[in-house]
Amino acid sequence: MKAPLKLVLVSLVLFLALGGALALFAFMVLADLRPADAIESIRDKGTLALYRFRIIETLSAAETTRLYQQSCTRRCHGRDVIEKAPRTAAEWETVVSRMKAPDRADLDARLAETIVRHLQNHFLSNVPTVLPATTMKFVKQHLWRSDFGENDLFLDIIYVPRAHASLMGYLGVRNLPQGQRDDLFVVYINTHQGRVPNWDLTEMATLRVNQAAPLRASAWTVLYRDGQEHHHQGALTFPGFDSSRSAELEMTLRLGGLGTRTFRWTLPIPSALE
């Protein structure tokens, strides 16, 4: 009985090995791949399947890049569409959510979240990219102020006077308290290495109009916060002031151990989006 059983097992092993070799050869022919590339592709698919079903918890940087390439730049469109058009953290989340559909990239929630983090880490814009070109030129000249990422913390602030409230939709401002009438400062906070603290900027921000006493912030509304705590966006308001008169605005953010940041604007802001 032992000899026939051994013969059966050997035959089964040989059959599976031959079947695997034939399957690999067929895959190479159909995919037009070299043996090394075919083996790597099969290994990648196996790794991603294990990750998708949480059998493994993390992917290496190289594996994450291949996931992004296989899901986005090979299945949907070329790399330039993505890599030459950086977006904000919130915008990338929206794009990937739209591309998750079965007739598009067909991603489950775990793979989609991983791709979002990859895009946010490598192709990030600190401020929205959906503004028309002429409007963006106006925003950069008159409304947008930024710093240089001291302590790996990047702050960008866009001042939105009431006369330019039409910009709010572009800037992701949709959930403000009803009846909000004050001018807004839309604040983007990004970090590449650490985490953005869960700040309440009403406790840290003041606004000086000319040389008058500084105004305390009256409200801080969180608009977006990513799951990794690398990207925050919110709307900061101050008690009403007359933005139609000539004035110098100076906002100061005191960020505790991360220093003090100062941003300045000159009023009045031109009425037309030049």
Give 140's contacts (C-beta < 8 A, 6+ positions apart).
none
Are residues 182 and 217 part of one domain?
A: yes
Q: Is residue 217 part of a domain?
A: yes
pLDDT of residue 33: 46
Are residues 196 and 101 part of one domain?
A: no
Confidence of residue 52 (pLDDT cuts 50, 70, 90): confident
Mean pLDDT of 60-64: 87
Q: What is the C-alpha to C-alpha distance for residues 145 and 158, in angstroms, rounded to an integer?
A: 6
Task: Report the share of the chain in percent with pLDDT over 90.
Answer: 28
Mean pLDDT of 175-184: 69
Are residues 152 and 94 part of one domain?
A: no
Q: Is residue 62 part of a domain?
A: yes
Are residues 251 and 152 part of one domain?
A: yes
Give the 3-state secondary structure of residue 205.
strand
Of 122, 151, 185, which residue sits at a domain end?
Answer: 122
Are residues 138 and 102 part of one domain?
A: no
Of 91, 122, 153, which residue sits at a domain end?
Answer: 122
What CATH number is given to the structural domain containing 258?
A: 2.60.40.10
Between vectors from CA 256 to CA 267 and to CA 227, what angle results, nearest 5°?
90
pLDDT of residue 180: 63
Q: What is the C-alpha to C-alpha distance for residues 26 and 24, in angstroms, rounded to an integer?
A: 5
More confident of the two residues 76 and 104: 104
Conformational region of residue 29, where left means phi above 0, alpha means psi within -120 to 50, and beta covers everything else = alpha
Q: Is residue 185 part of a domain?
A: yes
Number of domains composing the chain: 2
pLDDT of residue 8: 55
Q: Please choose, from the candidates 206, 201, 197, 212, the residue with its C-alpha nearest in 3D space to the C-alpha of residue 247.
A: 212
Cβ atoms within 10 A of the Cβ of 24, count?
15
Q: Is residue 116 part of a domain?
A: yes
pTM above 0.85, yes or no: no
Are residues 103 and 173 part of one domain?
A: no
pLDDT of residue 185: 95
- Average pLDDT in the chain: 81
Mean pLDDT of 55-66: 87
Give the range with max mean pLDDT: 27-41, 48-62, 120-134, 186-200.
Answer: 186-200
Confidence of residue 263 (pLDDT cuts 50, 70, 90): very high
102-144: per-residue pLDDT in tens?
A: 777 778 888 889 998 888 888 888 778 788 888 889 999 999 9
- The DSSP call for residue 213 is P
Q: Is residue 213 pLDDT above 70, yes or no?
A: yes
Q: Is residue 248 pLDDT above 70, yes or no?
A: yes
- Domain residue limits at 98: 33-122
Length of the chain: 274
pLDDT of residue 40: 66
Q: What is the C-alpha to C-alpha distance for residues 93 and 107, in angstroms, rounded to an integer?
A: 13
Of 68, 87, 122, which residue sits at a domain end?
Answer: 122
